[in-house]
Each structure stands twice: as C-alpha cells, then as structure tokens.
Amino acid sequence: MIRRALRARLGSRWIGPLAAGAVALLAAALLAAAGLALAGYEPVAAGRALVSGAFGSWERFASITLVRATPLILTGLAVALAFRAGVWNIGAEGQLYAGAVAAVWVGLAFPGAPAWLLLPGAMAAAAVAGGLWTLVPVGLKFRAGVGEVITTILMNFVAIHTVAWLVHGPLQEARGVFPQTDPVALAARLPRLGSGRLHAGFPVAVVLAGALWWLLRHSAWGFRVRAVGASARAAAVSGRIHTGRVVLGAFLLSGMLAGLAGGVEVAGVTFALYENLSPGYGYTAIAVALLAGLNPVAVLLAAGFFGVLQAGAAAMQRDVGVPAVWVSAIEALVILAVVAADRFLRRGVAGKGGG
Amino acid sequence: MSVLTVRHSARALAAACFVGGLSVGCGGGESGPEGDALRVALLTSGPVSDAGWYAGAYEGLLLIEESLGAQVSHQQTRSPAEFDEAFFSYGSSGYDLVFAHGFEYQDAALRAGEEFPGMTIVVSSGGRISENVRSLIFRLEEGSYLAGMMAGGLTRSKVVGMVGGVAIPPAQGTFRAFEAGARVIDPDVEVLEAFIGSWDDVAAAREAAAAQLNRGADVLVHNTDAASFGVFQAVREAHGDEQPVWAIGMNRDQNDVAPDVIAGSAAIDIPRAFLRVASRFIAGDLPSGAFDLSLDEGVVDFIVNPAALHRIPAELLARIDEARTAIREGALEVPRIRFLEGESGTP
C-alpha cells in the first residue's frame, strides 16, 4: 500500500516538471533561433549542427559531450555540497587549478612509479590540494568572520596567477621554451574507455555523485549538513549539532571535489599544465548546481545539459560558421531561458502538486 | 516553495533536455563530405576580429576556399581541453588539412596526428613535428628588423618600447630583431620590453604601453593579437603634433587600424602563406617537418604606412630598402631564436 502511494506520488511529480522542461527547452530554442536569424544565420542548420555535434554518434557523444560534462559534474558536486551546507564556495575554479597543479606535479615527479600507485596518488594529491586551497577562506571565515564569497573568489585569482607563474618558472617544460609543463608520465594518465576520448574520470564522477547523494540523504552526517544549511541557528540551538565542524567538513570536502576535477582534467584530457586550463568550469559549476537544485544526482543531468550545449556550440562554429561570440551569446541565452522557464513553470507545478 | 519541488523539477528539466536532444539527434543525419573536395579547417585560440594574427589566418582560410575550391571550417577554441576535442571533431569527420594557428596546439596536434594518420596538421610557430604534423614558421623577425630600423630612425627621445603577449621564443625573436634593427640606425637607443602574459588583454597592453611612454619611449612596437588595440590607444593618447609618438604594427598590415600614429607594420602575409601550404599539400610536395616562410618568399615584410609617408625622412626609407634587399639576397642575417625541437641551436 505504501509502495502504491509512493508510485502514484512519483508519477504525478514527474509529469509536471517534464512538461516544464519541454516548454523551457522550446522557449530557449526559439530565442536562440531568433538570435541566429537576426545575425543572418540559418537557425535550422545551426540547430542541426548543435544536435549532431553533441549526439551525432555514440563516439561523438562519449568523446565530446561526456568528456565536457565530467569536470562540470565534479565541480557541480563541489558547489552543490557547499551550498547545501550554507557555505557559499565560489572558489571551485581556484580549487580546480590547485588540484591540476598537484596532479601534474605528482605525474612529473615520480615517472618510474607503477600506474596502480601513481594514478591514485595523483588523484589523491589533486583532491588534497583542492581542499587545502579552501584553508585561507576557511580560516578567515572562522577566525575573522570574513564572508567566503569574497575570499573564495579572490583565491581563484591567486590560483590562476600562480599557475601562470609555475608554467613560466619552476614547472616549465624541461626545454624551457613554451609556457607549459612537460606531459605527465603515462602511468599518471586515466585509462580511456573504448576507442574515443572518454576517460575513466567520467564513471568516477558518476559514482561520486551517487555516493554524495546517498551521504546527504541517508547518513547522519548528511542530515547534519542539511540541517545546518537550512538554518545554522536552529541546528545549533538543537544542541546536537556542532555547526562549525559541519561547515568546515563540507567546505573542505567541496574543495576536494573541485580539486579532483582539476586532477581528472589533467590526467584524462590535457596531460600537462597550461595557463587557461579551465574555460571557467568552476563558475559554470554554480549554474550547474543551481539548475540541479543542489541535488547530486540531478547535478549529473545538469552537467550533461551543459556538456551538450558546449559540444553543440562548438559544432555550430565548425559546421555553420557561426562566430564564437555569437555562440557564447546563444549559450547564455539558452541557459537564461531554461532557468527562467523553470522558475515560472515551477510556480504552477508547486501550486498544484505540493511536494 | 519547498526544497523538494526545486530539486525535482530541475532534475526533470535536465532529463527532458537529454531525452529531447537524443531523439532529435537520432533523426538528424550528419553532414557528409561533399564529393572529393579538399576539406580544410582552421583552429584559432583567439577571435578572428583581432585585425592581426588570427584575422590573417581566417582570411587565409577563405582564400583557400575561394582559390582551391576547398570546403572550409573554423573553430575558436577557448582552453587546452578544447584543442584535442577540435582535432578529434575534424579528424573523425574526415578533414584533410588542419591549420592550428599557434604553438599552443602542438602537443594536442601530435596526439591527434597519431590518432588520425590521414589528416595533416600544420601548426603555426609549432616547436614539435611528426610524420603528419608540420610546423609553419614565419620568419617575422626579418620584417621586425626593418621595423626596428624605422623605430631607431624616428625616435627623438632615443627610447623605444616593445609590448609583447606571452614570452615565447617566436615573440621574443621578433623583439631581438627589432632591437638589432633599431641599434643599426642608432647604437645608443634604449629598448624597453614588457610581456603582459596574454595575447588579447587590451587593458593590460594599454597599461604596459603607457608605462613605457612615461619612461620616455616615443616609438612602441607590439607583438600581441587583439591586445594591440591597447597599445595603439595609449600611443594615440600620448601623441601630440609637437612631440609625435609612433606605434608599429605587427603580424598583419595594421596600418589602417590607427593610420594617424602607425609608422608601418612588420607583417606576415598569412593568407598567402596558407594558400601556398594548401597548394603544395594538394600537389603532394609539402615539405616534411618545418616550413619556413620569409621575406624572400614575399610572405614577410615591413610595410610603411602610406598615410605617414610624408612624415618619414626619405633617407631612412632608403636605408630600410637597402636592408630589405640585403636580407633577401642573404647578405644580411637577422638575429633569430630557434625553437623547433631537435633543430640545431635550440635548447
């Protein structure tokens, strides 16, 4: 009986939002098409390029769309976890860079180590570095009461400029010619899945999303995180929750996830450290996490959506000749339309379905 | 509104995107190659609206389309992760020739070259080569040397400045040549040098240029992409009729970007270079390894700004012409920095 009630509830819950999603997508597509037509491009051809760029074949979907989604999943999880705990970590970008530096350093420093040791070592180093990168904002938050929004953003700049210095200085390739590191040892690279570019970082990200969902939903720690995020004062007053410790843990773990994103990107995609390694994954992650309603499993889908959008946008450039600026503008339009339609329609759904 | 609804509708929304996209994706066929036309692609990591390095490459691509009837495509990449992806996209859709316009593509090019043996990749200013990955080296220092002579002849304060993007050998090489050219005219010229760490940061370029102007420089050369607008702007602001301040363009003929202050441009005729590469590729005699294009081939030159011609001493122009002839004939060797892996004299 309980099961039947559950199923009925789930059913009614899904139909409304699905319709909302469809309408949002339609609105986004119309807006983007109007923009393209205004600029003098074939909207239908551009739309076809977008879809075939993201989904044209399994190999393309795996090699481009999923590869793009991977760092967005990990950073999206980082942001979602922090926000759940009421920590406004805007610093996933910097933490990602810190993780990338650590993974590259490990991958260069121990060229003789076996893969079973080197790869996990590099990934662990990336996660630890990402966590360490939150220490300054954490310290300032707890000791001086400085808001983490400002400090995490500032630490992003520190990370980006530190990377620039590293690739021109201590970590520059042995020849000392170009601003990049040497490629990391083969043993420090993530294995490829299948014949394309998809690497083992993707399943790892998916598993982590599931694990984080379970932790938040079913573990005592997850309950404390949610309680603190919902109302830190109420959680503190209850007397059972040490809010400071919960916030600290969530902040560190968030940094570690973002750091791991950097490590995975280096070990799975670029194999070396460069300036501008990230096209702003840490910032897009905020949109991913919010679109996912801070739910780790929904982060998978939201990151997938952004992966589709980015893969498709690149194909619009290649196949239809839409310039990069227009592509970026259309990307932003689509995101705006999806978020706005989501908001408007959710009101109606919430009024009807409760939930 | 409760947290639950927020989460569920967002999740459903993302799911709908996935499902919706997939079904359309299965329906839409991929655009296949049209007949046996040559398929040529261009990758740039900056905007082709920079009136310089990337703009020239894009013109080259269009010239290849027009002259050789090739099917062309361009993508602007934003980060190293996109390099591999772009090569993968072009490789898996059967492109024959890819121009990767900058050294930054070299590692990804080597990987892609291995994965797609049927595709030839030409990396501009690339430092690494393989079977099907070639390096296209523009001997821009020859044009830059002549530009340096112009600067040495024009400066009244005996201080000239150089604003560069990222400190890499191809850029540093042009500055060494510029310096040498300036000192041929006047051995006492002081040369200032700054790298802003970016090719398209207009604000940073403007600051660096203003700093050099404040230190007394009255001729500035750049080697950046879109950031050059910042240099020209700073020069314009400092320019006075009593005390003329000059700028010198680089990479492409930029004389019409700021005709009032630009004395001339050390330019690469990138379209011509690209067309030459593509033609030789079709003919099957594209040299393996590195492909040098210099002043002698007419690909590199220093182009005096016609609008400024009347303000430049005829004697100086004559000396520049002499040097050009000497370079072309091999009588004058311009200093350069070698950066091709394995080439003698490289680190």
Taking all residues of chain A, what is their mean pLDDT, rounded to a whole number?
A: 88
Count of structural domains within chain B? 2
B107 with B222, same domain?
no
The predicted-structure confidence for A200-248, as pLDDT tens digits, reads as follows 999 999 999 999 999 999 999 999 999 999 988 888 888 788 899 999 9
Would you call A22 and B20 a contact, using CB atoms and an 8 Å cutoff?
A: yes
B146 with B131, same domain?
no
**Quick check: is B101 in a domain?**
yes
B125 with B181, same domain?
no
Contact (Cβ atoms closer than 8 angstroms) between residue A74 and residue A205: yes
B125 with B203, same domain?
no
B91 with B219, same domain?
no
Of the candidates A64, A180, A265, the beta carbon closest to that of B85 is on A64
- Residue in this structure with the two tokens 């005729």, named with its chain if needed: B269
B221 with B81, same domain?
no
A18 → chain B, closest CA residue: B12
B156 with B173, same domain?
yes
SS (H, E, C) chain A: CHHHHHHHHHHHHHHHHHHHHHHHHHHHHHHHHHHHHHHCCCHHHHHHHHHHHHHCCHHHHHHHHHHHHHHHHHHHHHHHHHHHCCCCCCCHHHHHHHHHHHHHHHHHHCCCCCHHHHHHHHHHHHHHHHHHCCHHHHHHHHHHCCCHHHHHHHHHHHHHHHHHHHHHCCCCCCCCCCCECCCCCHHHCCCECCCCCCECHHHHHHHHHHHHHHHHHHCHHHHHHHHHHHCHHHHHHCCCCCHHHHHHHHHHHHHHHHHHHHHHHHHHHHCCCECCCCCCHHHHHHHHHHHCCCCHHHHHHHHHHHHHHHHHHHHHHHHHCCCHHHHHHHHHHHHHHHHHHHHHHHHHHHHHHCC
A13 → chain B, closest CA residue: B8
The two tokens of residue B87 are: 């090569």
**Chain B closest CA to A299's CA: distance in Å?**
8
Of the candidates B1, B78, B197, the beta carbon closest to that of A350 is on B1
B116 with B245, same domain?
no
What's the rounded Cα separation, in Å, for the pair B11 and B3?
A: 12
Amino acid B16: pLDDT? 39
**Quick check: is B225 in a domain?**
yes
**Chain A closest CA to B343's CA: distance in Å?**
12
Would you call A355 and B90 a contact, using CB atoms and an 8 Å cutoff?
A: no
The domain segmentation of chain A, as residue ranges, is 71-293
Contact (Cβ atoms closer than 8 angstroms) between residue A178 and residue B171: no
- Residue in this structure with the two tokens 């260069």, named with its chain if needed: A108
Give the residue-averaged pLDDT of A52-76: 95
Contact (Cβ atoms closer than 8 angstroms) between residue B299 and residue B273: yes
Please report, for the domain that includes residue B52, its CATH number. Answer: 3.40.50.2300
Chain centroid to Cα A292, Å, comes to 11
- Closest residue by Cα to residue B124 from B116, B114, B134, B110: B134
B94 with B154, same domain?
no
Amino acid B241: pLDDT? 76
Edge to edge, what strands does the sheet with B39-44 contain? B71-76, B39-44, B97-100, B120-124, B133-138, B290-293
B65 with B121, same domain?
yes
Interface test with chain B among A41, A181, A284, A318, by most B beta carbons within 10 Å = A318
A163 → chain B, closest CA residue: B197
Would you call A325 and B81 a contact, using CB atoms and an 8 Å cutoff?
A: no
A vs B, Cβ pairs < 8 A, gives 216
Which secondary-structure segment (H or E) carries B105?
none
- The phi, psi pair for A33, rounded to 5°, reads -65, -40
**Quick check: is B279 in a domain?**
no
**Parent domain of B148:** 140-267+300-329
Domain boundary among B93, B108, B138: B138
A55 and chain B: CB distance < 8 Å anywhere? yes
Domain boundary among B138, B170, B194: B138
The two tokens of residue A321 are: 């000749």
Q: Which is more confident, A90 or B291?
A: A90
Give the residue-averaged pLDDT of A172-187: 91
A355 and chain B: CB distance < 8 Å anywhere? yes
A217 and chain B: CB distance < 8 Å anywhere? no
Amino acid A348: pLDDT? 56
Percentage of residues in chain A having pLDDT higher than 70? 90
Domain boundary among B138, B167, B194: B138
**Quick check: is B50 in a domain?**
yes
Check whether A111 has a pLDDT greater than 60. Answer: yes
What's the rounded Cα separation, in Å, for the pair B336 and B148?
A: 14
Residue A13 pLDDT level (bands cut at 50, 70, 90): low
Check whether A1 has a pLDDT greater than 70. Answer: no
Interface test with chain B among A50, A178, A226, A281, by most B beta carbons within 10 Å = A178
**Quick check: is B17 in a domain?**
no
Rounded to a whole number of angstroms, the distance between the first and last alpha carbons of chain B is: 64
pLDDT tens, residue order, chain B (347 aa): 343 333 344 444 444 333 333 333 333 333 444 457 899 999 999 889 888 899 999 999 999 999 999 999 999 998 888 999 999 999 999 999 999 999 999 999 999 999 999 999 999 999 889 999 999 999 999 999 999 999 999 999 999 999 999 988 889 999 999 999 999 999 999 999 999 988 989 999 999 999 999 999 999 999 999 999 999 999 999 988 778 999 999 999 999 999 999 999 999 999 999 999 999 999 998 888 888 888 888 899 999 999 999 999 999 999 999 999 999 999 999 998 888 877 655 55
**Chain A closest CA to B101's CA: distance in Å?**
15
Helix (H, G, I), strand (E, B) or coil at B135: strand
A272 and chain B: CB distance < 8 Å anywhere? yes
A291 and chain B: CB distance < 8 Å anywhere? yes
**Quick check: is B124 in a domain?**
yes
**Chain B closest CA to A244's CA: distance in Å?**
23
B145 with B130, same domain?
no
Q: Which is more confident, B297 or A264?
A: A264
B131 with B226, same domain?
no
Amino acid B35: pLDDT? 58
What's the rounded Cα separation, in Å, for the pair A210 and B179?
A: 60
A17 → chain B, closest CA residue: B9
